[in-house]
Amino acid sequence: MKEPSPNLVNVTTYRVIYGDTDQMGVVYYANYLRWFERGRSEFFRQIGLPYSTIEQQGYHFPVVEVTCRYTSSARYDDIIQIETELTELGRASMSFTYRTSREFDKRLLATGSTKHACLDQRAQVTRIPKILEDAVKAASR
């Protein structure tokens, strides 16, 4: 199992739109999972390997496990900060942790994690591609 650098983190922001909120005026709980995905997408861009490039190589990384712990509510027009950290790069899987907070007061909104299997074009579990390992190593320097 390969351990990435502890400082391999991406921070991105998102402004809450009205469609993200529920009848009570707070962000609907499932949207935090969308924000986790946004964080992962930006993480891959940051290391120079957009997810579309990984897919073009014939690999996919479906979520096989997810956790989310909610601590405070976000509302319409809040700017949300999403911190995404690659915490594990295994032989055929990878894991991320997330921390979401409101930008103006730094209030913690939710934390979570995802684990992803590496699949080939036939949807079979396969080894993490070298292109991804190399990108993570280069970004960790």
Tens-digit pLDDT profile for residues 32-59: 999 999 999 999 999 999 999 999 999 9
| pLDDT tens-digit map of 123-138 | 999 999 999 999 999 9
- Cα end-to-end distance, the chain, whole Å: 19
Domains of the chain: 9-124 (3.10.129.10)
Average the pLDDT over 77-98 and give the result. 97
pTM, two decimals, is 0.92
Average the pLDDT over 4-27 and give the result. 89
Backbone angles phi, psi at 138, to 5 degrees: -65, -40
Active site residue 22: yes
User: Of 20, 22, 105, 134, which one is the catalytic site residue?
Assistant: 22
User: Average per-residue pLDDT in the chain?
Assistant: 94
Residue with tokens 């690999």: 59
> What length does the chain have?
141
